[in-house]
Structure 1
Amino acid sequence: MKYSLQQISDRLEIEDLLVEYSDAVDTLELDRLDNVFTPDAFIDYSPLGGAMGTYTEVKQFLKNALPAFKNTQHMISNFRIQLDGDRASGKVMCFNPMELDMGDGSRNNIFFVGLWYIDEYIRSADGWKISSRREEKSYDYNTPEFIQFSSF
């Protein structure tokens, strides 16, 4: 596929946006997400047991849920981005290992999930932003049975 310079720039900016999301979540610097999502973004993490709602609601869910984990990593790849002027859509693969303190003082549980982010992007005055995100579950492994993300 042949891209114009503008399309190359747009794709790189969207890929940077996705990396910014991953880093903000993994470092618990969740206020950085204000630069990732539009204020009216709709987010659906429910396929993996998480929250669904407005950006503000889901950001609060993340602030409540993520501190329970000692470590998380969002490793993203396979960026499938389709540009349409000031809008774009995307499908991004994510491998997400997480470390959970089991509370018994002797060990931590490491589990992981594989998922796709199905996104809609919009070009704003501040650059590209995610206006809609939903997760599509591929698999999970070694997830403790008591994990109910929606309870956070």
Structure 2
Amino acid sequence: MSDFQAIADRFEIESLRGEFTDAALMHDYDRLVSLFTEDAVVRIPDANVEIVGREAFRAGTERLQDMWEFFLQTTHPGTIQLDGDVASGRAYLAEFGRLCDGSSHTNYGVYHDRYRRTPDGWKFAERVYEVRYVDTTPLPGTAPHTAPSARQ
């Protein structure tokens, strides 16, 4: 693999991770599921969640998003290990929000990812969310009640 190809691959994978966060926060479910391979697996072991395939992921994401009064996630670059047409990596995240039932959550975690090069570019083949810290102290702030727009 040339140095140029490795740089391009890393850039595309980092962009994929950014697109995931943006699509989720903008409730752009079509874009969100397009970031995964058809047979992708999403796991959240601490919540006993395992979702296989794009359509199941879409349905689960929509259901979970409807539970939040507001939610924000920031993802920070981590590692990327390239191996031809597959890669693995980690991204670090911080998130907070308040559920419609009034409970609050501040979480810090790690995404453990596997990526696969497809004819449409790099996609997630597996995304595992490892929770490292949870704080359920009620959030004192408020959020405007405007729906996010995927057109922004």
Query: Shorter-normalised TM-score: what interval?
Result: 0.7 to 0.9
- Aligned-residue offset at 1:59: 2.1
In 2, the alpha carbon distance for the partners of 1:64 and 1:50 equals 16
CA contact (8 A) 1:52 1:58 kept: no
Computed over aligned residues only, the root mean square deviation of the Cα atoms, in angstroms, reads 1.9
Aligned match of 2:29:
30
Aligned match of 1:39:
38
Match of 2:51 among 50, 53, 61: 53
For residue 133 of structure 1, what is the amino acid of its counterpart?
R
5 Å-filtered alignment, 1:94-113, equals: 94-102=93-101, 109-113=103-107
Per-residue CA deviations over 1:7-43 (Å, capped at 9, x if unaligned) read: 1111110011011111111111112123210010011
Aligned match of 2:146:
none
5 Å-filtered alignment, 1:106-125, equals: 109-125=103-119
The TM-score normalised by the length of structure 1 is: 0.81
Residues 57/46 of structure 1: CA separation in 2 closer, same or farther (3 Å cut): farther
In 2, the alpha carbon distance for the partners of 1:46 and 1:61 equals 15
Residues 7/143 of structure 1: CA separation in 2 closer, same or farther (3 Å cut): farther
Per-residue CA deviations over 1:30-83 (Å, capped at 9, x if unaligned) read: 121232100100111232x26312133232111111112122222111320001
Worse overlay, 112-121 or 51-60: 51-60
- Aligned-residue offset at 1:127: 0.3
In 2, the alpha carbon distance for the partners of 1:88 and 1:128 equals 9
5 Å-filtered alignment, 1:1-152, equals: 4-47=3-46, 49=47, 51-55=49-53, 56-102=55-101, 109-142=103-136
CA contact (8 A) 1:51 1:58 kept: no
The TM-score normalised by the length of structure 2 is: 0.81
- Aligned-residue offset at 1:109: 4.8
Residues 82/143 of structure 1: CA separation in 2 closer, same or farther (3 Å cut): farther
> What percentage of aligned pairs have identical amino acids?
30
CA contact (8 A) 1:69 1:100 kept: yes
SS in 1 for 2:30: helix
Q: Which runs of 4+ in 1 moved over 4 A?
A: none
List gaps (5 residues or longer) in structure 1: 103-107, 145-152
